Structure 1
Amino acid sequence: MDGTATTPSDSSPSQPGFIVRFFRGIGMVLFHIPFQRYQVLLDKSVPKPVLRWVISAVLLIIYVLRVFLLQGWYIVTYALGIYHLNLFIAFLSPKIDPALTDDGVEDGPSLPTKSNEEFRPFIRRLPEFKFWLSATKAIAVAMFCTFFEIFDVPVFWPILVMYFIILFSLTMKRQIKHMVKYRYLPWSQGKTKYRGKEDTGDVIR
């Protein structure tokens, strides 16, 4: 015996107690498993844009009907419209703003400006799936707010409607001017595409 005492740090770590394991299990059931299922549903919905947008449109119609019948929550609806407008502008904008590059020339891929140029897809600042997901989440949050009177701030809704129309018009006018100035279109359909080497010479339109 060398007289060296065994300290608690020398022993192997003890297993978590029953209470710790119990709450970990509860957390797994309440959060982790539902999140996994939610992520699986999102992954399955990626190749189905039409179905996704139909679901969002139905949710938006339900929300509008609820606001119309309840005659309230106009400020929430206005905030929802402004948020959707910002998402839409990001969806129409290129990932790399040509105004921030030298002579307005992008470093990344872009749409061709001439008919004899090679096909280059338009890369959005906000991809379609993220646009849909953020817009749908916003509708769900707005719907949730309509169940609480605290969010029903009294406002004169015609003023909000007029202000939103003016804001939408000015924003879209600026976006269209930006598209014309830097000669790009926010879509890739209708442009000439080329197949791989095995189909050389074939053109997809």
Structure 2
Amino acid sequence: MEGVGGDGASQMAPLAKWRNDFSRTFQYYLDRSTPHPVQRWLGTLAAAAIYVLRVYFVQGFYIVSYGLGIYILNLLIGFLSPKIDPELEALDGASLPTKGSDEFRPFIRRLPEFKFWYAITKAFCVAFFMTFFTVFDVPVFWPILLCYWIVLFVLTMKRQIVHMIKYKYVPFNLGKQRYTGKKSAASSSGSSRD
């Protein structure tokens, strides 16, 4: 009895070891890519371009593209939204400032940039993989899907922008503000003579 169970376990051990090694290696390279956002996004842009070219040359898989667009729109909303939404949760100490006299609190995203990038990259890879299976190539009139997605995008972004204006937050880091100070009267009068 022991021999039969031992053979099954010994055959599964290399598979589990390979999966564990692959997972560690993948995580290692994922961690190394963290401080390089420009290179990461260029890689995602390349993956998106490959996917678009695949759909263009195959002339199909519009449902997959529509689903990908809806998923990316959902991720974008999470990326642009604050972690603690003042409309949905009770106001506690971590809310956004609403008055000029309130203390400055940095904008914390519901979906951080790295997770946003990772989810979009993974979505493009999965969608590209799906284009190799004809079961996902459902015949549809793609201009209708495109128009519906554009309307959905405009309405969703309008709602998000209204929310940003209402609660006075900007979801983008514009960098550190630099103050140049006042110019002296002598330097401004000297430049007017020239």
Q: Aligning the two structures, in what range does the TM-score lie when normalised by the shorter sequence?
A: 0.7 to 0.9
Give the Cα–Cα distance (whole angstroms) in 1 for the partners of residues 93 and 142 of structure 2: 45
Confirm or deny: 8 A CA contact 1:74 1:152 kept in the other structure.
Answer: yes
1:189 positional shift: 2.5
Check if 1:85 corresponds to 2:84: no
In the TM superposition, what is the alpha-carbon distance from 1:57 to its structure 2 partner? 0.4
Match of 1:22 in 2: 11
Runs of 5+ in structure 1 lacking a partner?
A: 1-15, 194-205
Runs of 4 or more, structure 1, over 3 Å off, are 109-114, 116-119, 190-193
CA distance in 2, matches of 1:166, 1:39: 38
Cα shift readout 1:74-101 (whole Å, capped 9, x = no counterpart): 0000000010000001000000001124
Matched, 1:138 2:123: yes
Counterpart mapping for 1:58-77 below 5 A: 58-77=46-65
Residue of structure 1 in register with 2:94 after alignment = 108
SS of the equivalent of 1:66 reads helix
Q: Is the 8 A contact 1:110 1:120 kept in 2?
A: yes
Cα drift, residue 129 of structure 1: 0.4
Distance 1:191 1:106 in 2: 27
Whole-Å separation in 2 of the counterparts to 1:65 and 1:101: 43
Pair 1:127 & 2:112 matched: yes
Structure 2 unaligned runs (5+)? 179-194
| TM-score of the pair, normalised by structure 1 | 0.78
The 1:188/1:152 distance shift into structure 2, 3 A limit, reads: same
Residue 184 of structure 1 pairs with residue 169 of structure 2: yes
From 136, 161, 164, the equivalent of 2:146 is 161
One-letter identity of the residue aligned with 2:108: I
1:158-187 deviation line (CA, Å, top 9, x unaligned): 001100110000000000001111111112
The higher radius of gyration belongs to: 1
Contact kept? 2:85, 2:95, Cα under 8 Å? no
TM-score calculated relative to the size of structure 2: 0.82
| Superposition RMSD in Å | 2.4
Q: 1:113 to 1:44 in 2, by over 3 A?
A: farther
How far off its partner does 1:110 sit? 4.1
Distance 1:27 1:191 in 2: 47
Name the CA distance, whole Å, in 2 between partners of 1:96 and 1:141: 30
Q: 1:65 to 1:50 in 2, by over 3 A?
A: same
Aligned length: 176
Q: Which residue of 1 aligns with 2:187?
A: none
**Shift in Å at residue 18 of structure 1?**
4.6
TM-superposition CA deviations, 1:116-150 (whole Å, max 9, x none):
87653210000000000011110011001000000
- State the identity %: 53
* Cα distance change, pair 48–179 in 1 and its aligned pair in 2 (3 A): same
Give the deviation of 1:66 after TM superposition: 0.7
1:73–1:153 Cα contact (<8 Å) kept: yes
Q: Which has the higher helix share?
A: 2
User: Where does residue 133 of structure 2 map in the other structure?
Assistant: 148
